[in-house]
Amino acid sequence: MYNAYLYSGRLFDDVHDVLFVKHTNMIFLSITAIVCPEISQMGNAQVVLTNRTYLSQAYVICNHGLRLEDGSTQTTVLCRSDATWSKSNITCQGRLLLQI
């Protein structure tokens, strides 16, 4: 979890800033960020994401020749307010073809 503090439209994320706010008797609101768990790289797909916080998106892109159950080659998952991803157990699958 990531803690930050908001006062008068300013975001405080440094401990010294927070201590200053407390010391000067200003009222502040404590905010705890929603962070989804890490998505491990899969052997049959690439996972691309820039962040894991609420409303962040992650893209799962199947390796060449593989597809998801619905036939597509990629899908998007969203970090939800309960700190879980919108989809789980994503599997890319396909057939191994041998050329003789």
In tens digits, the chain (100 residues) has pLDDT values of: 455 555 555 655 544 444 455 555 555 556 677 899 998 877 789 999 989 998 999 999 999 999 998 999 999 999 998 999 999 888 898 865 555 5
- Please tell us whether the domain made up of 35-94 is placed in CATH 2.10.70.10: yes
pTM for the structure as a whole: 0.62
| Three-class SS state of 4 | strand
**DSSP one-letter string for 6-23:** EETTEEE-SHHHHHHHHH
Domain ranges of the chain: 3-32, 35-94
Nearest to 5 by CA among 32, 25, 35, 36: 32
